[in-house]
């Protein structure tokens, strides 16, 4: 497959047009002087050039490699050129950083794993806060909980817990950051059994905007504890999550790669799974891909037990597969069966459509949208990836950003119209979208939903309503793209 992806880690030179504004640069230096030795600031141009006086136009500066790693995101279109990055090593230093950026009104972004497609979700042109150094994972067998630093990805958490025979409700594919996933809700392979990732949080170590480090639980700060569950970083920066653990043994499953000529069979199997399977241990992720003029389906099967269950996945297994790696394996091994690097370091947008049910006509509409946009945008980029429920469009040339944005919005609307025509009228008029996947357009009502009273009149959000809407709008057993 031809891909012309820019690899951020090798782009060590930045033009003067990206040079720091004096105010933000001064804030970076103020932070560097205030934080402890456990933390560090990195610059878009090396410190030796920071005080250069009016260098000639066209001058380039070497960027610190740690800075490049700190600002890098899964999709390069969500990566922004911050003036500097800072890696806090303690919660107290996070407090120092927040106090300084607050007092100077400096824009900033907070990045955990950086698995994002949309700009501004965890990036900034001001200061990039990268949580990389907060990577502790401490399991407490007496309370059956684990304290997880906000800089971890789920792969590391699963690996650390595997020797203890326990697990947590976390990401379903490799490379997903703990913090954004959990604060945004978090659908897991274990969600049908234990709820969303945020349902398993027992405590947050939270740094408030005034710099105060506090322990937030249901008993200490119940309102804040509720608000953090789906509130992202709007209440401060979470530095540690204390999560409930659950027993975990070997699992059964893997991935099927299926050619486009069998898509009708994939649609039928998927619709039947959605309508009939009630076993909470069973899940699938069905992904439709359009690349270089070819339609493919990639279906991940999951069962939370060592052996294949009777009947549940037989319809999928009967479809001729181009390749398969179904087996009994560890939970971590199954999480890593899908190579998420195939669309990394490309440009991309994500969006989500909140269906109430997955039906055969909807799946057929999804395939039709995929084939239409795959053909229509074929001359704009080398690849397009479109996933039901959640859609990801990936390309390489920044000049086509507007075209792809328009395409993903139009495609989402077409699928919504199809759902409404089926009678799924609740998907419009205030239905909350998954905060982890909604397209970047600045319209908050698409993220949080339109709060309404019992009579349908707009009103105040009641405790539990926002969370409930988030869970109702997406079936965790049928989510067709990882969040």
DSSP secondary structure letters along 380-405? T-SEEE--SSEEEEEES-GGGHHHHH
Q: What is the pLDDT of residue 450?
A: 43
Instruction: Please state which CATH class domain 8-130 belongs to.
Output: alpha beta
Contacts of 39 (CB under 8 A, 6+ apart): 86, 87, 88, 89, 90, 93, 133
394-409 b/e (C-beta count within 10 Å ≥ 16 → b): bbbeeebeebbbebbe
Give residue-wise pLDDT tens across range 184-212. 999 999 999 999 999 999 999 999 999 99
Measured between alpha carbons, how far is 436 from 178 in angstroms, rounded to an integer?
A: 12
Query: With 50 as the cut, is the pLDDT of residue 401 above it?
Result: yes
Distance CA 318, CA 335 (A): 23
Residue among 214, 205, 233 nearest 108 (CA): 233
Question: How much of the chain exceeds pLDDT 70, in percent?
Answer: 67
pLDDT in tens, 67-90: 999 999 887 777 889 999 999 999
pLDDT range class, residue 141, cuts 50, 70, 90: very high
**How crowded is residue 13: how many other Cβ atoms within 10 Å of its Cβ?**
9
Distance CA 32, CA 298 (A): 46
Instruction: Measure the CA–CA gap between 150 and 153, rounded to whole angstroms.
Output: 8
Contact 339, 255 (CB under 8 A): no
CA 357 to chain centre: 23
Predicted confidence (pLDDT) at residue 373 exceeds the cutoff of 80? no
- Residue given tokens 């136009």 in the structure block: 57
Q: Give the tens place of pLDDT for each residue, 428-478.
A: 554 444 444 454 454 444 444 444 343 333 333 222 222 222 222 222 222
**Measured between alpha carbons, how far is 444 from 465 in angstroms, rounded to an integer?**
16
For the entire predicted model, the pTM comes to 0.75
CATH code assigned to 250-330: 3.30.70
DSSP 290-338: EETTEEEEEEEEEESSSSPPSSTTHHHHTS--SEE--EEE-HHHHHTSS
- Return mean pLDDT, the chain: 78
Cα torsion 88, 89, 94, 95: sign = negative
Q: 188: which 2 tokens?
A: 């897991």
Architecture of domain 137-247: 2-Layer Sandwich (3.30)
Specify whether the backbone of 28 is left (phi greater than 0), alpha (psi in -120 to 50) or beta. alpha
Domain boundaries, the chain: 8-130, 137-247, 250-330, 342-483
How far apart are alpha carbons 136 and 454 in whole angstroms?
Answer: 44
Q: What's the average model confidence in pLDDT over 214-227?
A: 97
């Amino acid at each position: 497959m031809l891909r012309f992806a820019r690899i951020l880690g090798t782009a060590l030179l930045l033009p003067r047009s990206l040079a720091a504004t004096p105010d933000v640069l001064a804030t970076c230096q103020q932070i560097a002087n205030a934080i402890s030795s456990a933390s560090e600031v990195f610059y878009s141009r090396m410190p030796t050039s920071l005080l250069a006086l009016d260098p000639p136009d066209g001058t380039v500066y070497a960027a610190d490699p740690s800075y490049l790693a700190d600002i890098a995101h899964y999709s390069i279109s969500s990566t922004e050129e911050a003036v500097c990055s800072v890696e806090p090593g303690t919660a107290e230093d996070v407090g120092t950083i927040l106090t300084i950026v607050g007092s100077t009104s400096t824009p900033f972004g907070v990045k955990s794993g950086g698995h994002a497609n949309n700009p501004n979700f965890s990036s900034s042109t001001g200061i990039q806060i990268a949580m990389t150094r907060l990577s502790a994972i401490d399991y407490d067998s007496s309370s059956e909980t684990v304290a997880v630093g906000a800089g971890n990805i789920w792969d590391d958490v699963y690996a650390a817990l595997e020797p203890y025979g326990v697990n947590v409700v976390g990401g379903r594919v490799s490379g997903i950051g703990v913090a954004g996933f959990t604060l945004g809700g978090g659908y897991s392979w274990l969600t049908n059994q234990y709820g969303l990732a945020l349902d398993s949080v027992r405590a947050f170590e939270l740094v408030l905007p005034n710099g105060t480090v506090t322990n937030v639980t249901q008993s200490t700060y119940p309102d804040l504890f509720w608000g953090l569950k789906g509130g992202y970083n709007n209440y401060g920066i979470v530095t540690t999550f204390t999560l409930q653990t659950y027993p975990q043994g070997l699992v059964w499953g893997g991935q099927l790669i299926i050619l486009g000529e069998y898509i009708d069979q994939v649609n039928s199997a998927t619709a039947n799974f959605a309508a009939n399977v009630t076993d909470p241990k069973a899940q699938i992720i069905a992904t439709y891909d359009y690349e270089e003029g070819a339609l493919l389906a990639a279906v991940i099967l999951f069962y939370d037990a060592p052996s294949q269950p009777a009947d549940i996945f037989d319809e999928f297994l009967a479809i001729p597969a181009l390749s398969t790696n179904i087996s009994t394996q560890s939970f971590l091994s199954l999480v890593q069966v899908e190579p998420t690097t195939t669309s990394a370091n490309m440009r991309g947008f994500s969006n989500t459509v909140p269906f109430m049910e997955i039906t055969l006509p909807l799946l057929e509409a999804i395939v039709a949208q995929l084939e239409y946009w795959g053909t229509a945008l074929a001359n704009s980029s080398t690849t397009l990836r479109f996933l039901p429920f959640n859609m990801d469009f990936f390309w390489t040339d920044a000049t086509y950003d507007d075209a792809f944005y328009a395409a993903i919005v139009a495609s989402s609307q077409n699928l919504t119209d199809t759902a409404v025509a089926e009678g799924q009228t609740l998907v419009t008029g205030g239905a909350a979208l998954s905060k982890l996947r909604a397209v970047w357009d600045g319209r908050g009502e698409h993220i949080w939903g339109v709060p309404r009273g019992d009579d349908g009149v707009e009103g105040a959000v009641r405790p539990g309503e926002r969370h409930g809407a988030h869970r109702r709008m997406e079936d965790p057993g049928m989510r067709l793209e990882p969040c």
